[in-house]
Structure 1
Amino acid sequence: MTDTFSNPIESPVTAPTVSPIRKLVRQFSRSKLALAGLAVLVAICLAAIFAPLLSPQDPYDLMQLDIMDGQQAPGSTSLGHGFTFLLGTDDQGRDMFSAILYGLRISLGVGLTSAIAAALIGATLGMIAAHAGGRTEAVIMRIVDLQLSFPAILVALMILAFLGKGILNVVLALVLVEWATFARAARGSALVESQKEYIEAAVCMGLPLRRILLRHLLPNCLPPLIVIATIQVARAISLEATLSFLGVGVPITEPSLGLLISNGYQYMLAGYYWMSLFPGIALLITIVAINLVGDQLRDVLNPRNRS
């Protein structure tokens, strides 16, 4: 009589499947520096979002300021309100800790908005150039080459000299500076994908251009674009700080970290170092944290770059 039960050792065993997102998270968490940068970045974003709750005063509400509190050293106590200035005050009596939290909101908002808008415009034009080819590709890529041949800060200065100060104008200037980087990266990825059979099948089926770009090309071009967007956020924040420091960026009524550094720079030789030092440290920490996250994302999304 034969045994009708199969040997459990000889039965095929299927390995548990791991979702792509969980795999990416596991690979990202291998770098302690990237995790530290992500933690710092999350803390900075939360501090900027909840700035009205965390700051002891609204630094741009004239009713909460006292000129007698001007240029107080870190750790001093307010003469009229009684709270302690952890990072000191500026020449107008504004608490530097509160000013930095509010400045982070402007800097992060400008960086994120400009990077997202530049990614949408650049990725769309890059994929159109790769898919259309011919004269369309030549025109778009010559404009990209012309854009990238000039220093970014010079182009932004020229645009703001024409448009004037303002947060929207700064965002527009940064978008016009950054879109070409996304266009070149999207075109390179889309050229590789356009040679594959599923794109040729979609073209033969007569699918509209919008569906080919959004449903087929874009998902396969996203990994390099995500990495570039992360780096461009840090670059946009530093460019905005430079423009504000030069006096052509955001207005004084809505100051960013760069404008805070510029306001305190003129008092450094008089010994009031904290007016520029602490906003500069906050700007440096923010940019370093974003770059750490971006570097690890590059290694995770492109295995060929892993060390």
Structure 2
Amino acid sequence: MSGVASGAVAPRVETPFRRFAAEFAESRLALLGLLAFAAIVLVAALAPWIAPQDPYDLAQLDIMDGRLEPGSIGGSGITYWLGTDDQGRDMLSGILYGLRTSLLVGAGSAVIACAVGASLGMLAAYAGGRTDAAIMRLVDLQLSFPAILAALMILAFLGKGVLNVVIAIVVVEWAYYARTVRGTALVERRREYIEAAQCLALPAHRIIFRHLLPNCLPPLIVVATMQIARAIALEATLSFLGLGVPITEPSLGLLIANGYEYMLSGKYWISFYPGVALLVTIVAINLVGDQLRDVLNPRLKR
């Protein structure tokens, strides 16, 4: 006869993912931020299907009767929930389309900067010597310039465009990843498993990417989360200053800039609502990043 009753429930196996999810869920603010960011990504992805209009299709604009409306029904019978701008574009549609551009530019540049910075950081830690010194002097040089100033200089040379904005953000952001990964990799490089891999004469690239990189991921994930929010804010700043994305590919920063001159005349909604969307996006990402930092760094756990 079995020692366990037939009706007994098997004990729940605690996997690393379940443990991580339980610790992450301890913060209600982090859960709220995660839900808000997921909703933002969803509405941005579905913008062509849920937006009342394509704000950059001239055939859909109501220039005669729909300009600078504070949230009403325009001459064509379309309901403008958040009002319209000086070109008769629906602000809600503009925000949904602008979110797509801001998220793509921010996330895309962060991913590329992470790949470049992490690779150089691990190379510096593993190779040491002159290679380490050269890479870290380049990192110090990069971090000595304010990010916005360096990005403005790059875009002044390259010109406007989504690709150019991504390049500018990658150039000013990669150093943060390199410094973070190098610090973690220097500690991991002294571990026994790295020495064992070296004794087996494994190729350097295999040791770096199959053994060293996985153990550098926790701090890298935290930095990447924070840098996505930073990249979105930087892109919005560049677009606001007129050196970001072109007017044919709207972003939240460009929408804010379009309504800046109308603020004093009381037409606040043109800049206000895109600003709120940008603020909510950045705050949501930062809330998630703060909790990831607490969960993935044992020294910061309460």
TM range (shorter): over 0.9
Other-structure match for 1:28: 24
Structure 1 residues 1-307: aligned runs within 5 Å: 17-68=13-64, 69-74=66-71, 76-80=72-76, 82-307=77-302
Amino acid at match of 2:232: I
C-alpha deviation, 1:303, in angstroms: 2.0
**Alignment identity in percent?**
67
CA distance in 1, matches of 2:3, 2:259: 79
Q: Deviations over 1:18-53 (max 9, x none)?
A: 110111011101100000011110000000000011
Q: Deviations over 1:60-114 (max 9, x none)?
A: 000101212110112x10212x121000000000000000000000000011001
Residue correspondences, number:
296
CA distance in 1, matches of 2:285, 2:12: 34
What do you get for the CA RMSD once the two structures are aligned?
1.5
C-alpha deviation, 1:238, in angstroms: 0.4
Structure 1 unaligned spans of 5+: 9-13
Amino acid at match of 1:242: T
SS of 2:285's partner is helix
Amino acid at match of 2:53: Q
Other-structure match for 2:7: none
Q: CA distance change for structure 1 residues 188 and 15 in 2, over 3 Å: closer, same or farther?
A: farther
Question: When the two structures are superposed, what TM-score results if normalisation uses the length of structure 1?
Answer: 0.94
CA distance in 2, matches of 1:286, 1:131: 37
Q: CA distance change for structure 1 residues 199 and 266 in 2, over 3 Å: closer, same or farther?
A: same
CA distance in 2, matches of 1:162, 1:200: 46
CA distance in 1, matches of 2:199, 2:28: 48
Q: Deviations over 1:269-307 (max 9, x none)?
A: 111110000000000000000000000000110121123
C-alpha deviation, 1:121, in angstroms: 0.5
C-alpha deviation, 1:222, in angstroms: 0.2
Amino acid at match of 2:17: I
CA distance in 2, matches of 1:150, 1:305: 30
Other-structure match for 1:11: none
CA distance in 2, matches of 1:53, 1:30: 35
SS of 2:123's partner is helix
C-alpha deviation, 1:209, in angstroms: 1.3
Q: Deviations over 1:223-257 (max 9, x none)?
A: 00000000000000000000000000001111100
C-alpha deviation, 1:265, in angstroms: 0.3
Q: CA distance change for structure 1 residues 7 and 102 in 2, over 3 Å: closer, same or farther?
A: closer
**4+ long deviations beyond 6 Å:** 5-8
The structure number with the bigger radius of gyration is 1
Amino acid at match of 1:142: R
Amino acid at match of 2:173: E
CA distance in 2, matches of 1:7, 1:254: 68
C-alpha deviation, 1:17, in angstroms: 3.9
C-alpha deviation, 1:152, in angstroms: 0.5
Q: Deviations over 1:193-246 (max 9, x none)?
A: 100111011112111111111110000000000000000000000000000000
C-alpha deviation, 1:139, in angstroms: 0.2
Structure 2 unaligned spans of 5+: 5-9
